[in-house]
Every structure is written in C-alpha cells, then in structure tokens.
Amino acid sequence: MAIQGEPVAHADLVNSSETTLHSHAGGGGGFTPAIFYAQGNSTSNLGTSLGTLTWATPVFEDAGYSESSGTVTIGSALNGKRERIDWNILGTGATNRVEIVVEVQVGGSPVARMHNYSARNATQDAGGMAGYHYLTLTTGMTIRIQAFRIGSTANLVTAGTSFAIETKS
C-alpha cells in the first residue's frame, strides 16, 4: 500500500511528471442500483400448499418498484434492467421434520423452485432457506415469493424472512 507522498510511479515512465499518490474526482459510469427490500410481516404457520408471502412496509422501495399484498410490480423506470432477487425464509416451532418449499413467480408462473429440510424436531425446531434468481425486468412484470411446508410446524420469523430485488445493470 502506498503512503501519501510516496513515489508510486517511476519518473522515467511518466516523463518526470507527478509520481506521488493523489486522487481524482469522478469514477465509475454513474450506475446506481434500484433496490426493493422488505422483511416479512407474518408469524403464522406456513400452509401446506403454496401461498404468497406478504411483507412489512419496505425498508427500500426505489423508483420503479411498487409492492402490494406481497406482489412487486415493475415500473417503466426499470424496463430492460437485469436484476437479482434474493429471499430468505425462517421458520420455527417444529415438533418433527419439516421442509420449506419456496417458489419465485413472475406473472403468476414459476421461474425458480427449491426446497430445504429445515428443522428436525422439538430440540432442533428452527430452520429456513435462502436463495436467489436473476431476471431481465420488463414494465408491468409482477414478482412474488410463494412458500409452503411439508411436515411439522414452520411459524414464520419476521426478522428472518425477507425479499430483496436489486438491479445489476
């Protein structure tokens, strides 16, 4: 690591011009990601068939995102952008084996589905899963996270259940 005032370039390589460490204003291409992020708002037991997860008031809901009843709608400001969806679901209260199944839906159709053996018994009664998926956004696109359980109880933990979307271009 260079220290301020320490030569960082040989004078012969830069025609005897400035060879000490200095900085310039400016930087990257000016891209600022648009972000949607919310935590869960339910502590209910996951059902045994797919149900849309709902969210507390979003922590971040940048221009181009609009959430209602667990579904995020994409506005024209994000048309054509590539993005990453991240989700995390945490359940507790199991008395026996439980699996959590998660499905990401776009326009009501599944685009990603995964499941995880999440809890074992009353002693090891909490567990969850996390995942991600990439999409190219279009105006009017709707995105939602659905989940269900197989087996014992899986009471949702609000601080451990979240949904995030971040544009990458």
CA–CA separation, 83 and 169 (whole Å): 7
Instruction: Please give the average per-residue pLDDT across 12-29, as a whole number.
Output: 55
Q: What is the pLDDT of residues 25-53, one digit of tens each?
A: 555 566 788 999 999 999 999 999 999 99
Q: Of 55, 42, 50, 53, whose CA–CA distance to 150 is shortest?
A: 50
At the topology level, CATH places domain 34-167 in Jelly Rolls (2.60.120)
Q: What is the pLDDT of residues 88-112, one digit of tens each?
A: 999 999 888 899 999 999 999 999 9
Q: What is the pLDDT of residues 66-91, one digit of tens each?
A: 999 999 999 999 999 999 999 999 99
Token readout for 155 is: 């009471």
Considering the chain, what percentage of its residues have pLDDT values greater than 70? 82
Cα separations (Å) of 125 from 37, 49, 162? 27, 21, 20
Token readout for 94 is: 């199991």
pTM for the full predicted model: 0.79
Query: What is the pLDDT at residue 168?
Result: 86
Query: What is the pLDDT at residue 10?
Result: 55
- Domain residue spans of the chain: 34-167
CA–CA separation, 102 and 52 (whole Å): 10
